[in-house]
Structure 1
Amino acid sequence: MTDAALRRAADAEHGVFLAESTPVVRRALDAGCRPVSFLLPQRYLETAAEQLADAFETFPEAPVFTGDDELLSQLTGFHLHRGALAAMERPAPRPVDDVLAGARRVLVAEDLTDPTNLGAIVRSAVALDWDGLLLSPRAADPLYRRAIRVSMGTVFRLPWARALAWPGAGHHGMPAGQVGKPHRAPATDGLEALRRAGFVVVALEVTDQAVALEDPVLEPLRYAERLALVVGAEGPGVRAETLALCDVHVKIPMPAGVDSLNVGAAAAVALWELRCRPV
Structure 2
Amino acid sequence: MAHLVPVSDPADPRITDYVRLRDVNLRKSLEAEHGLFIAEGEKVIRRAVAAGHPVRSLLMARRWADPLADVLSGVEAPVYVADDATMESITGFHVHRGALASLERLPLPAIEDLLSGAFRAAPGADGAARRTPPSRVLVLEDLVDHANVGSIYRCAAALGIDAIILSPRCADPLYRRAVKVSMGAVFAIPYARMANWHDDLAELRSAGFTLLALTPDRKAAPLDEVPMGARTALMLGSEGDGLSSHWLDEADQAVRIPMSEDAMAAGVDSLNVTAAAAIACHTLLRR
**TM-score category by the smaller chain?**
0.7 to 0.9
Q: Secondary structure at the match of 1:150?
A: helix
Q: Structure 1: give runs of 5+ residues left out of the alignment.
A: 168-186
In 2, distance between residues paired with 1:276 and 1:225? Answer: 14
Match of 1:253 in 2: 258
What code does the residue aligned with 1:194 have?
L
Match of 1:212 in 2: 222
- Aligned: 1:121 with 2:159: no
1:107-162, CA deviations, whole angstroms, 9 ceiling, x for partnerless residues? Answer: 01100001101111111111111100000000000101111111110110100000
- TM-score normalised by L of structure 2: 0.80
In 1, distance between residues paired with 2:67 and 2:163? Answer: 34
1:58: Cα distance to partner?
3.0
* 1:37–1:87 CA contact under 8 A, matched in 2: yes
- Aligned: 1:193 with 2:217: no
Match of 2:175 in 1: 144
1:182-202, CA deviations, whole angstroms, 9 ceiling, x for partnerless residues? Answer: xxxxx6xx2111001000000
* 1:19–1:25 CA contact under 8 A, matched in 2: yes
- Aligned: 1:76 with 2:100: no
Give the aligned CA root-mean-square deviation in angstroms: 1.5
* 1:16–1:88 CA contact under 8 A, matched in 2: yes
Match of 2:58 in 1: 38
Trace 1:1-279 onto structure 2 (pairs within 5 A): 1=19, 2-10=26-34, 15-49=35-69, 53=70, 55-60=71-76, 62-101=77-116, 102-167=133-198, 190-207=200-217, 209-214=219-224, 216=225, 218=226, 220-221=227-228, 224-254=229-259, 255-256=263-264, 257-275=267-285, 277=287
Corresponding pairs, count = 242
Q: Secondary structure at the match of 1:80?
A: coil
* 1:148–1:155 CA contact under 8 A, matched in 2: yes
Identity %: 45
1:82: Cα distance to partner?
1.4
In 1, distance between residues paired with 2:219 and 2:112? Answer: 30
Match of 1:174 in 2: none
Q: Structure 2: give runs of 5+ residues left out of the alignment.
A: 1-18, 20-25, 117-132
* 1:18–1:145 CA contact under 8 A, matched in 2: yes
